Amino acid sequence: MHIDNAIRSRKSVRRFRPDAIPRATIEHILELAARAPSGNNVQPWHVQVVAGEIKDALCRDILTAAQHDAGTHAPEYAYYPDDWFEPYRGRRREVGFSLYHQLGIARDDTEARNIQMLRNFQFFDAPVGLLIGLDRRLNTGSYIDLGMFIQNILLAARGQGLHSCAQAAFANFHQVVRRHLPLPDEDILVCGIALGYEDGDAPENGLETPRAPVSEFAAFHGFEG
């Protein structure tokens, strides 16, 4: 797959088919992803790959925690601002409303929205889940490196005909994850990634999020014409 096609066809898939993925394919994706640049080549990424009963048991426990004591769980880093402002607040609202519109969920249907949110913790039925960690002793620059590594995973997956969904929601439940997986104490759980084959019949997978044109976020200097 040409890199342009991989980038343009990458999207957040929120319902997957159950088709298994060979371990060799996942290892190939991670090997490619590890070619991401990192400051002084520190390669700060750590990955826990889950499938089968191990994944199912982890998902069950996180779902229980999310339904019954979510207030006692919190991420170890701040992903979003405490106070939203434009243009970011508008973009956030637009993607949320668009997703629920695709699913036929009314804006005031809190129960249906919560059910959809909880599907995060089933990796949206994907057969494979990745949990991405970062050594907390590193600094902000390593988050930049990690972001490039994660993007490589998503694009390398497209090269294998797979889709994905990066999920910061898992970061809230690092304590539950530690009961199931050997996530080192010094690691921050940054996100999960659902990995699998897209369910082409699922309405939520028809969502295509818009992007601002280059003229809105880039300034060019010293060019002629």
Beta sheet of 128-135, edge-to-edge order: 45-51, 128-135, 187-196, 163-167
Q: How confident is the model at residue 14 (pLDDT cuts 50, 70, 90)?
A: very high
The tally of domains found in the chain comes to: 1
Residue 139: inside a domain, yes or no?
yes
Distant-in-sequence, close-in-space partners of 16: CB < 8 Å, separation ≥ 6: 123, 124, 125, 126, 127, 163, 194, 196, 197, 198, 199
Residue 222: inside a domain, yes or no?
no
pLDDT tens digits for 192-218? 999 999 999 999 999 999 999 999 999
Is the model's pLDDT at 225 over the cut of 80?
no
| Predicted pLDDT of residue 1 | 86
Residue 30: inside a domain, yes or no?
yes
Average pLDDT over residues 18-42: 98
Is the model's pLDDT at 30 over the cut of 80?
yes
| Predicted pLDDT of residue 149 | 98
Using the Cα atoms of residue 84, residue 90, residue 95 and residue 99 in order, give the sign of their dihedral.
Answer: positive
Residue 99: inside a domain, yes or no?
no
Residue 85: inside a domain, yes or no?
no
Q: What is the CATH number of the domain that holds 32?
A: 3.40.109.10
pLDDT tens digits for 71-97? 999 999 999 999 999 999 999 999 999
pLDDT tens digits for 148-186? 999 999 999 999 999 999 999 999 999 999 999 999 999
Residue 87: inside a domain, yes or no?
no
pLDDT tens digits for 54-63? 999 999 999 9
Domain holding 38, by residue range, is: 3-80+121-203
Residue 223: inside a domain, yes or no?
no
Residue 161: inside a domain, yes or no?
yes
Q: Which residue's entry shows tokens 């909880």? A: 118
Q: Name the nearest CA neighbour of 177 among 12, 93, 63.
A: 63
Is the model's pLDDT at 100 over the cut of 90?
yes
